């Protein structure tokens, strides 16, 4: 329910983003970006047979996406406030690895490989400060900025298992709320075209996956499996892009 509420809130705020500039003096912009996503190791809880896989490593991934927003013209402490909607995608896949497991005792086990696709829809509140102002760049040719935001994170986990020598792929999709913080700078090549680079920190609520393989029988035996996995996601992103400001 919390995830649905978050998605609804983002839709409402996105609508405000699209309509607010029309009623106020604002500087709208849109841009594209790409970079690298570095996800922290995470503890994965197995809920069906209670156990915890400790410090499961997630792969480095490419992140790419787009953003649109606006800065209000009215100055605040010498700078400008703004609102930004962004959509981005990354893949912190999990390789097959040996990890510590906590169940009835503590030991090591093999954690199977899994593909993890994450698409985020985020809304950020921003503040920028103008540097190197002149007649062509009234808001500054160089603009450091920072912000915080809220997002809906749509994650799909898919893995493969072998039961009675039969390979089966199975997966699940979950949507959870997440928070993010970012800091970066824009440099304007022209009065309307800017390059930007930024760092972003992302942390999600626990993602929950019900991995149910296709049920079937072989030799009179059931070949279906059910696993319930739960873990959060903490990721650091370094990205660069280009934006057009109207």
| Domains of the chain as residue ranges with CATH | 2-245 (2.40.160.20)
pLDDT digits (tens, 9 = 90+) for 180-205: 999 999 999 999 999 999 999 999 99
Quote the pTM value: 0.84
Positive or negative torsion for Cα 39, 117, 195, 131: negative
| Helices then strands, each counted (H, E), the chain | 1, 16
* Cα 87 to Cα 18: distance, rounded to the nearest angstrom: 15
The predicted structure's pLDDT at residue 62: 98
pLDDT in tens, the chain (246 residues): 445 555 555 555 555 555 554 445 889 999 999 999 999 999 999 887 788 999 999 999 999 999 999 999 888 999 999 999 999 999 999 999 999 998 776 789 889 899 999 999 999 999 999 999 999 999 999 999 999 999 999 999 998 764 444 455 678 999 999 999 999 999 999 999 999 999 999 999 999 998 865 555 444 444 445 578 999 999 999 999 999 999
Written as six digits, the tokens of 127 are: 């503040």
- Go through 113-133 and write b for each residue having 16 or more CB atoms within 10 A of its CB, e for each that does not: ebbbbbebbbbbebbbbbeee
């Amino acid at each position: 329910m919390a995830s649905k509420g978050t998605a609804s809130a983002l839709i409402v705020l996105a609508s405000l983003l699209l309509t607010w500039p029309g009623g106020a003096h604002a500087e709208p912009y849109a841009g594209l970006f790409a970079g690298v996503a570095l996800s922290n190791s995470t503890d994965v809880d197995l809920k069906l047979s209670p156990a915890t896989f400790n410090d499961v490593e997630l792969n480095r991934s490419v992140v790419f996406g787009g953003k649109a927003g606006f800065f209000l013209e009215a100055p605040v402490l010498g700078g400008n406030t703004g609102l930004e909607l962004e959509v981005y995608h990354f893949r912190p896949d999990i390789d097959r690895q040996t990890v510590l497991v906590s169940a009835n005792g503590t030991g090591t086990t093999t954690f199977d490989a899994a593909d993890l696709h994450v698409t985020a829809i985020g809304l950020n509140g921003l503040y920028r400060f103008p540097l190197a102002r002149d007649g062509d760049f009234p808001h500054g040719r160089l603009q450091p900025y920072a912000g915080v935001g809220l997002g809906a994170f749509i994650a799909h986990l898919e893995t493969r298992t072998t039961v009675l020598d039969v390979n089966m792929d199975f997966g699940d999709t979950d949507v959870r709320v997440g928070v993010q913080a970012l800091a970066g700078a824009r440099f304007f090549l022209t009065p309307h075209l800017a390059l930007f680079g930024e760092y972003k920190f992302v942390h999600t609520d626990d993602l929950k996956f019900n991995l149910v393989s296709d049920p079937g029988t072989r030799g009179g035996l059931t070949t279906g499996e059910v696993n319930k996995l739960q873990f959060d996601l903490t990721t650091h992103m370094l990205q660069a892009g280009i934006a057009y400001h109207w």
